Amino acid sequence: MQSPKIMVMGVGNILLSDEGLGVRFLDELAKSTFPDNVELLEGGTAGLELVHLIQDVDFLIIVDALNANAEPGALFRFQPGDLQIIPEQYEVSFHQIGIVEVLTMANLLGHAPQTLIFGIQPKSLEWGLEISPEIEALFPRLSELVIKEIHSIQHEGKFGST
Amino acid sequence: MAKVVIDPLTRIEGHLRVEVEVENGKVVDAHIIGTMYRGIEAMLRGRDPRDATFVTERVCGVCAGSHGWASSLALDKAYGANVPAGGRLIRNLIIGAMYLHDHPLHFYHLSALDYLDVMAVAQYQGKDPGLLAVKDKIVKLVTAGDTAPLTPRYKPDDYSVNDPELVTMAVAHYLKALEMQAKAKKMSALFAGKQPHQSSIVVGGVTMLPSIGVVEQFRSMLYEQLDFIEKTYLQDVLTFGTGPLLPLAQAGVGGGSPHYLSYGGFARDDAGKDMFFKAGIIMDGNLSNIKPVDEAKITEDVQYSWYKASPNGKTPYTEDTVPDLDKKDAYTFVKAPRYDGKPIEVGPLARMLVMQPKGLMDIISKYNIKPGAVARHAARAYETVMMAKDMFNWLDALEKEMGSKDFRIHDTDHWEAPATGQGAGMTEVPRGSLGHFIKVSDHKIENYQMVVPTTWNFSPRDDKGVRGPVEEALIGVPVPDLENPVNIVRVVRSYDPCLACAIHLIHPETNQIKKFRIGW
């Protein structure tokens, strides 16, 4: 079997402290080595531009800040189908096109990868390049979880069953 | 797991708010409010002038490259640099490709949903396999309750297009445009190193020497773009503009100030005499009297802006940008640029009215279309076709240059900052006339000012109390349903503002502010 193309994408705005946790997490993840079929991508604050970057990806793992009204550091793992977007809250904006909209677009174009999202409730969204220490402290554990998913894809051809 | 909603949190470049007052179903007053202060100009003071190119590019991730280009044009003058033909042509091609990216994206992805009743797709009865596939996908999304990206924020109204055939075609093209805009951006990156935020354009020319293979790759991609822009994008705009949207077009909804400006841009010769976009000023809607542009007539008022009045005058070389948040009567962070004291519209409609290409003017007169939201879309599409066609000539010229013995892309003799100097980089970028103004002293930036297209169009009242162009364009716009101010959105978006936006409606009877948030 041909190796599936796997991408880990960190998204967020690194100028707003924990909002950028997905991007900052990639630094932690990059300490490990990966086979050639795994790509780490800084999604940053790009919107529609991401669509063509995920078109030939088979498995996509996204790490992002998530507002679930939970305590800071709360971790969520879910697939896009678990979510519902309320149309009235959707903003037609080049900058506010969220990652879920990007996936819907990719799906419309017929190329949406199988996707798993790790979301963390941020502590601070204030201006600043620093990430809250208690959020950063979660990165090694999150790194283990992401690597476990990559193993599962490599060996079972699907995300883990957690 | 329980269902959760992902909030994209704060990932916006800037903010724009529109406040209008409605009486008897029509807008009677409007305030355009820029809610964010960036401080980029202040940040540049005291820095190496060459930093300006890369710092100002970070103004925005959408109009990437535009500010780097204008900044380098200003620095070219301040440094006395002579950009060689190779550098000039590569700059033109980088920014030209950005037009091919920006304009269709604006139409299909940022504007079209304001005019379409997307759910009409479900009623499509035709036999076109491509369109049936679109119908199938949309119906699946609707069933799954996941239509967010395609659902307009406002309800369809009397002007909305609901013919299933037309709507399905538009949605199919919306998807095709997604692919084409990614390719156009790649074209730009071929010559610019990367996008967004190109890294090739600098004072004196460009830094990246293309191979003939890259030039040919660019050319073959340009053929594909032209095909899409001419046969799909322009055709769609004309089909809608002269079809279901003709009443809006003929009523001139969103007309605004009858004064138009183009600085001219994209030099086709080294002397800068032959420009692709022509320079000119139109006053009071008089299309038969195109006047030359006089840089000295540009001033910026701040009576209604949260800035202190500049002690050294109002011209871009002399003014400063010092915030004053407690200023009485001020309501925006946008200054009020004026030309000869008048509010001026810039952008595709202004450029096309200055140039008056026969094909477009024939359509305008045949259908009796007036300046307004629909005309702006038509002008934008038409100039994109003109641009794509002319880019082939620029590629030919570049290849010819590449074959010559003294082919150069950069004036390396003028790389170090002069002790003193000043210069204006005034050019045309997708959203309109862009000016960067630099004053150098002691080899450093003494003063830097940007007068950007969105500042011209979205300016507040000036010192005389005269409204800015978009404020004026909103007066009289029909709002039959206060809960559904879709016409306001259509007018505001037709200017292609590079800002996020929220609209407040003041209900005249109760004075209750109804808040409608929209974004770009």
B28 interfaces chain A, CB cutoff of 8 Å: no
**In the structure, what pLDDT confidence band is assigned to residue B15 with cuts at 50, 70 and 90?**
low
Distances from the Cα of B62 to the Cαs of A92, B58, B110, B193, B415, in angstroms? 14, 10, 12, 16, 28
**Contact of A35 with A153, CB cutoff 8 Å:** no
Q: Which of B6, B109, B152 lies closest to A48 in CB terms?
A: B109
**In the structure, what pLDDT confidence band is assigned to residue B151 with cuts at 50, 70 and 90?**
low
| Domains in chain A: ranges and CATH | 6-156 (3.40.50.1450)
Which of A13, A16, A62, A95 to mutate against chain B (most B CBs within 10 Å)? A95
d(CA B401, CA B203) in angstroms, rounded, equals 20
Nearest-5° Cα angle at B254, B251 to B258 = 95
Give me the residues paired with residue B517 across strands: B502
The residue-averaged pLDDT of B397-409 equals 95
The nearest CA of chain A is from the CA of B117 a distance in Å of 14
The nearest CA of chain B is from the CA of A85 a distance in Å of 6
**In the structure, what pLDDT confidence band is assigned to residue B76 with cuts at 50, 70 and 90?**
very high
d(CA B241, CA B226) in angstroms, rounded, equals 21
**Contact of B288 with B314, CB cutoff 8 Å:** no
| Cβ separation B146–A19 shorter than 8 A | no
What would the pLDDT profile of B103-146 be if each residue is shown by its tens digit? 998 899 888 888 988 888 889 999 999 899 888 888 887 777 66
The nearest CA of chain B is from the CA of A96 a distance in Å of 6
What would the pLDDT profile of B195-237 be if each residue is shown by its tens digit? 878 889 999 999 999 999 999 999 999 999 999 999 999 999 9
| Cβ separation A78–B181 shorter than 8 A | no
* Strand ranges inside B193-311, DSSP E: 201-202, 205-206, 260-262, 265-267, 275-277, 280-282, 298-301
Q: Locate the chain A residue with the closest alpha carbon to B3.
A: A83
Residue with tokens 């269709």: B104
Per this entry, what is the length of chain A?
162
Mean pLDDT score across all residues of chain B? 87
Which of A66, A91, A161 to mutate against chain B (most B CBs within 10 Å)? A91
Cis amide prior to A87 (ω within 30 degrees): no
According to the model, what pLDDT value does residue B6 have? 21
B24: Cβ–Cβ under 8 A, 6 or more apart, which residues? none
**In the structure, what pLDDT confidence band is assigned to residue B509 with cuts at 50, 70 and 90?**
very low
Contacts of A88 in chain B (CB under 8 A): 153
Q: Which residue has the higher pLDDT, B475 or B58?
A: B475
According to the model, what pLDDT value does residue B112 have? 87
| Cβ separation B62–A94 shorter than 8 A | yes
Q: Which fold has domain B15-518?
A: Cytochrome-c3 Hydrogenase; chain B (1.10.645)
Q: Locate the chain A residue with the closest alpha carbon to B502.
A: A91
Contacts of A81 in chain B (CB under 8 A): 144
Q: Which residue has the higher pLDDT, B253 or A47?
A: B253
Does B34 have pLDDT greater than 70?
yes
| Cβ separation B141–A108 shorter than 8 A | yes
Does B507 have pLDDT greater than 60?
no
Q: Is the ipTM of this complex over 0.85?
A: no
d(CA B359, CA B444) in angstroms, rounded, equals 48
**In the structure, what pLDDT confidence band is assigned to residue A2 with cuts at 50, 70 and 90?**
confident
Q: Which residue has the higher pLDDT, B305 or B155?
A: B305
| Cβ separation A93–B147 shorter than 8 A | no
Distances from the Cα of B114 to the Cαs of B27, B150, B158, B374, B379, in angstroms? 18, 10, 12, 12, 18
According to the model, what pLDDT value does residue B466 have? 97
The nearest CA of chain B is from the CA of A79 a distance in Å of 11
| Cβ separation A90–B1 shorter than 8 A | no
| Cβ separation B61–A45 shorter than 8 A | yes
The stretches of chain A forming alpha helices (DSSP H) are: 21-29, 99-108, 133-136, 139-156
| Cβ separation B518–A125 shorter than 8 A | no
Contacts of B185 in chain A (CB under 8 A): 49
**Contact of B169 with B155, CB cutoff 8 Å:** no
What would the pLDDT profile of B340-371 be if each residue is shown by its tens digit? 999 999 999 999 999 999 999 999 999 999 99
| Cβ separation B61–A119 shorter than 8 A | no
CB pairs under 8 A between A and B: 132
DSSP assignment of A136-156: HTTHHHHHHHHHHHHHHHHHH
The nearest CA of chain B is from the CA of A112 a distance in Å of 13
Does A94 have pLDDT greater than 70?
no
Q: Is B217 left (phi over 0), alpha (psi -120 to 50) or beta?
A: alpha
| Cβ separation A94–B149 shorter than 8 A | no
d(CA A158, CA A149) in angstroms, rounded, equals 8
B388 interfaces chain A, CB cutoff of 8 Å: no
| Cβ separation B175–A13 shorter than 8 A | no
Residue with tokens 């679930």: A68
According to the model, what pLDDT value does residue B5 have? 23
The residue-averaged pLDDT of B318-325 equals 87
The residue-averaged pLDDT of B283-300 equals 96
The nearest CA of chain B is from the CA of A94 a distance in Å of 6
What would the pLDDT profile of B439-487 be if each residue is shown by its tens digit? 999 999 999 999 999 889 999 999 999 999 999 999 999 988 887 788 8
According to the model, what pLDDT value does residue A129 have? 93
Selected residues 276-335 of chain B with any CB under 8 Å from a CB in chain A: none
Which range among B255-259, B315-319, B426-430 has the greatest average pLDDT? B426-430
The nearest CA of chain A is from the CA of B185 a distance in Å of 9
d(CA A35, CA A147) in angstroms, rounded, equals 12
**In the structure, what pLDDT confidence band is assigned to residue A50 with cuts at 50, 70 and 90?**
confident
Q: Locate the chain A residue with the closest alpha carbon to B147.
A: A87
The nearest CA of chain A is from the CA of B116 a distance in Å of 14
| Cβ separation A93–B500 shorter than 8 A | yes
Contacts of B182 in chain A (CB under 8 A): 49, 51-52
- According to DSSP, the β-strands at B205-206 and B260-262 are unpaired
Q: Which of A64, A83, A95 lies closest to B3 in CB terms?
A: A83
Contacts of A16 in chain B (CB under 8 A): 9-10
| Cβ separation A87–B11 shorter than 8 A | no
Q: Locate the chain B residue with the closest alpha carbon to A84.
A: B5
The nearest CA of chain A is from the CA of B243 a distance in Å of 25
What would the pLDDT profile of A59-91 be if each residue is shown by its tens digit? 999 998 877 777 899 888 888 766 654 444 444
Q: Is A44 left (phi over 0), alpha (psi -120 to 50) or beta?
A: left
Q: Which of A82, A95, A104 lies closest to B148 in CB terms?
A: A104
DSSP 3-state of B65? coil
